[in-house]
Structure 1
Amino acid sequence: MLRQLGIEERIFWLHDQAIPLHFTMAAKVIGELQVDSLQQALAWVQQRHPLLGVRIVLDSLGNPWFTEDSATIPLRVVQRQSEQQWQQEVEQELAHPFNWNQAPLIRIVLVHAADCSELIITCHHAIADGMSVVYLLRDILQAVGIPGSQQQILPERPAYEYLTPIAHKIKPPTKDSQLELVNPSQTIPPAKSLHFRLLTWSLSPEETATVILRCRQAQTSVHAAICAAFLLAIAQSHHSQNDTEAQSLEQKQPVTLNCLTAINIRQFLTPPIQEDFGYYFTSNISAHTITPNLSLWDLAHVIKAQLNQKMSPDQIFAHLPEAQAFITSNPSIDTIKDIFQELYRYDVLVSNLGKLHIPTQYGHLQLAAIYGPSGAIHVAKGRFIGVATLGDQMFFNLLYPDSNISLTEIEHLQKKTMQLLLGESMEQVQLLSDTLISEDKRSLSKVK
């Protein structure tokens, strides 16, 4: 593979040099996951997905290019000693940025035991998104658990902007055969990462079904309800810290909070991108004024409506020509950093992968849980929420910088959010259930 980085790939490559933006996904696997079989599987998936074998180099004009390299995917094996050990490994992975000039821009950690292991995949954001890692994880487990079932090698893809309806507005990359790819004389050392802490939890099948049912009744999305619950919990925490106990509900001041949503754009591309490993997402940030009497479902409706406006092809890709013009002006790393901090100043970032349509059984291996994405945070009090629904369970992880948010605050936020999401949901579902039972009884009495 040899191509220039696309518009947003290049923006993330630049930003990563100022403040790292790499991310992780983690999976719990039941069954014996042998190290040698895993290494063979990694060699196979590296053939299947072209971006798993690249590094980034510069041409004589300073433009970054993906170029193929022979380096294998590094695998670090750690002996599993506790259920929570993998979370510490995720925190460690997020504290170590990639060197973009060294291949590959992905690495794996196996927290290993004879009958249960966690697989942690860490990627440079210029080559991947959360769904890419989901499909990669499936490919790895299939290669290990069902030998001989390998899928076809996928083609090299252009940057996603050339697959959009506005591709004609995007200037093609420079095609000067005289440009010789060169390595930088010295790579700028990555900025020191903040130290992050990870809190994870899951909903039971019953709780997951309850949330989905209530969202359907309220005619909103699960994603919007999750965003609303976290925003309300943060606002309530803000009030408890800044208001006196004597203040009434009416006296409490509104709080304006920003929510950033990661958006999967694969379905909007031509041809649609399905299982390819690459950068196929964008984001939307919205500001919400939280008043003391605002309900979960009213806020969820507002969030869903705003996202629906964004989710049309003419809106979702509208920023690309302007972003390309900005990139071609050769902005400095500091400029990129300042713009990110100005435009993406969020209180909560929610990356919800939705219901994952991948198997949970791979021969003798069972995929029991998926947690992620967890991405390095670039705002002081940002909270990064990763959500994935596997089978009939919803899995959450909450990443936060421990320098200015305490574990006690985060645990309170998590508890309050789930109370908002589940407590009201369960109450409403119970009312619905009671209503249906009463109607059934009335129907039976009429029959009699």
Structure 2
Amino acid sequence: MKRKLLFGECMLLGDGTEPFNTVIPFRLKGRFVLKDVEHALNVLQAKHPWLNAVIKYDENKAPWFEVTERKIIIPIRTVHRKGEEQWQEESKKEWHTVFDSKENPLIRFVWIEGGDVSDMLFVFHHCLCDGGSAMTLLHEFLQLLDNPSVQINLENPILGIQDVVPNDILSNRRQQLKAKLIGRLASTVIKCIAIEKRGIDRKKDYLIHWKFDTETTKEIISFCKYQEVTVNTFLSAVVLQAFKKTRKKAFNKVSCPVDIRRFAPQIKDNHIFAFGLMIVVSLNKKISFEENLKLIQQAVEKKTSKLNPYLTMMVLESAHDAVKKFTKLLKFGKSSNDCMFSNLGRIQIPSEYQQFSLENVFSPSVIGPLGNTTTMVTSTFCGEMDFSFIGSEGYLSYVEALTIRDEMIKTIQQQLESLVVS
């Protein structure tokens, strides 16, 4: 079984020599043995074909996911747990560890073993799967770790664009022509753009983690309902406000991923897939924070309604000859946004199992070589809103990042207090 990588997946893979890794950390309370962890991972591989895939290149040097005949095993790295924050240090190690994609799977596992409490990390190459896929795999892993005989549904894998884009659109001559014309134009423009020979030295990478307790999280949700905006809109505005107050040269732009599954029902929760959509939001500096919430909500709804994943995929697939130039453009071009902000929302994974309890699912972290690494990921598990702030000194200093975090917390508290007063 094999399939050619889509445009976006090729971009994330690059030439395979630099890491672009996503880390999913979680904490379990209970005792485990290695063979049970190995069994759970083996069953996941049996149910999800692309977890058995390596990267192969055809005669045109195009990369393919290919499930080989030989058995490949998900690597497990075990370390002794020395403290509550060790998962952060191990996450950073995994950011910088390149996948040997020609010989090994694009997934590995870290077990920080601590007796009654263990921290564990799923690590994926970002070209393999997105946050939605990762959460499904985590849920299935926990079910198997708790009960080795539990039945997990077999994934019917995506084998190409034809499994995502409906046939009536994919075979429509008008849509084909439109996609080809836009793709050719984009490809020509990309090829004509001059690229710097050297990118910004990103220097040391860092991870800042914090969370809100259940009471504060409830208050944030109530505030958003009162303001008639989504939590994502509120937090995006908070991020923009924090950058504006902290940095003189802030771009006033935050990129927000949008889950393609909202628009393409062909992509199921258990599909291993990594194609993303994106919108950009900004503040109007002439109006108040509260007024900006309404404005951003309107902008998000308008931009989201215009997203067309099917046409976008068709356009990109017609521009494969420009993927290397586009990747270099992202890698060496100047940054034009402050941050990527991703809200996974409520993680709907049970916390209690027969053999153990899931104490925490920390917000994932992701870092790669394509330009500005500044990324913030938030998620909510067991009623607590959790944040991972990833960055590099060459783009945003650690001291500035701490100030941005503090400014975010301050802004949120001020808004919650204003609701109480009103």
Matched with 1:266 is 261
Q: 1:325 aligns with which of 318, 325, 329?
A: 318
The one of 416, 419, 422 aligned to 2:407? 416
Hey, what's the Cα distance between the residues in 2 that align with 1:193 and 1:41? Answer: 37
CA distance in 2, matches of 1:379, 1:294: 34
Displacement of 1:341 after TM fit? 5.7
Q: Cα distance 1:341–1:307, how it changes in 2: closer, same or farther (>3 A)?
A: farther
2:345 is the alignment partner of 1:354? yes
- Kept in 2, the 8 Å contact 1:141–1:365? The answer is no
The answer to whether the 8 Å contact 1:160/1:269 transfers is no
User: Secondary structure of 2:245's match?
Assistant: helix
**TM superposition score normalised by structure 2:** 0.85
Q: Which has the larger radius of gyration?
A: 1
Residue 153 of structure 1 aligns to a residue whose secondary structure is coil
Aligned partners of 2:19 and 2:288: how far apart in 1?
36
Instruction: Please name the residue that 2:378 is paired with.
Output: 387
8 A Cα contact 1:258 1:348, kept in partner: yes
Q: Does 1:51 align with 2:41?
A: no
User: Is 1:257–2:252 an aligned residue pair?
Assistant: yes
Q: For residue 230 of structure 1, what is the amino acid of its counterpart? A: V
8 Å CA contact retained: 1:58, 1:64: yes
Q: 1:381 to 1:39 in 2, by over 3 A?
A: same
Structure 2 unaligned regions, length at least 5: 178-200
Structure 2 match to 1:298 = 291
Structure 1 residues 377 and 358: alpha-carbon distance in aligned structure 2, compared to 1, 3 A threshold: same
| Contact 2:330–2:371, Cα closer than 8 Å, also in 1 | no
Native 8 Å contact 1:386 1:398 kept in 2:
yes
The corresponding residue for 1:79 is 80
CA distance in 1, matches of 2:350, 2:284: 40
Contact 1:263 1:282 in 2 (8 A): yes
Task: Return closer, same or farther for 1:339/1:86 CA change in 2, 3 Å cut-off.
Answer: closer
- Report if aligned partners of 2:212, 2:386 keep a CA contact under 8 Å in 1: yes
Distance 1:262 1:272 in 2: 16
The separation in 2 between residues aligned to 1:404 and 1:12, in whole angstroms, is 20
Provide the C-alpha distance between the structure 2 equivalents of 1:325 and 1:136, rounded to a whole number of angstroms: 31
Out of 299-308 and 44-53, give the one that drifted further: 299-308
1:226 to 217, 235, 250: 235
After superposition, what is the alpha-carbon deviation per residue over 1:103-159, rounded to whole angstroms, capped at 9, x for unaligned? 200111111111111111111112100111111111111111133223122112233
SS of 1:319's partner is helix
1:431 aligns with 2:421: yes
For residues 99 and 345 of structure 1, what CA distance do their matches in structure 2 show? 32
CA separation in 1, counterparts of 2:97 and 2:284?
Answer: 36
In the alignment, the residues of structure 1 paired with residue 25 and residue 161 of structure 2 have an alpha-carbon distance, to the nearest angstrom, of 26
In 2, Cα distance between the equivalents of 1:259 and 1:120? 28
Deviation at 1:334, TM superposition (A): 4.7
- Give CA-to-partner distance per residue, 1:338-375, whole Å, 9 cap, x none: 14665973211111111122211222222222223311
For residue 276 of structure 2, the aligned residue among 272, 281, 299 is 281
Report deviation, 1:25: 1.3
- Taking only the aligned residue pairs, the percentage that are identical comes to 21
In the alignment, residue 213 of structure 2 is paired with which amino acid?
Answer: S
Partner of 2:180: none
1:42-441 equivalences under 5 Å are 42-69=41-68, 70-159=71-160, 162-165=163-166, 166-168=169-171, 169=175, 195-239=204-248, 256-286=251-281, 288-289=282-283, 291=285, 294-312=287-305, 315-327=308-320, 329=321, 331=322, 333-339=324-330, 345-378=336-369, 382-428=373-419, 430-431=420-421
CA contact (8 A) 1:162 1:170 kept: no
Range with bigger deviation, 297-306 or 148-157:
297-306
What is the identity, as a one-letter code, of the residue corresponding to 1:419?
K
Shift of 1:26: 0.9
The Cα of 1:210 is off from its aligned counterpart by 0.5
Aligned-partner Cα distance in 1 for 2:57–2:291: 49
d(CA) in 1 for partners of 2:386 and 2:66? 36
Residue 317 of structure 1: how far off its partner (Å): 4.0
- Aligned AA for 1:21? F
Distance 1:343 1:3, change over 3 A: farther
State the one-letter code of the partner of 1:132: S
Letter in 2 for 1:101: K
Tell me how far apart the structure 2 counterparts of residues 100 and 302 of structure 1 sit (CA, whole Å): 44
Say how many residue pairs are matched.
392
Name the SS for the 1:257 alignment partner: coil
Question: Against the structure 1 CA distance between its residues 210 and 298, is the aligned structure 2 distance closer, same or farther, given a 3 Å change threshold?
Answer: same
Distance 2:223 2:240 in 1: 19
Note the C-alpha offset of 1:199: 0.9
Equivalent residue number for residue 34 of structure 1: 33
- 1:260–1:344 Cα contact (<8 Å) kept: no
- For residues 161 and 231 of structure 1, the distance between their equivalents in structure 2, rounded to whole angstroms, comes to 38
The 1-side partners of 2:155 and 2:85 are apart by 36
Change (3 A) 1:370 1:297: farther
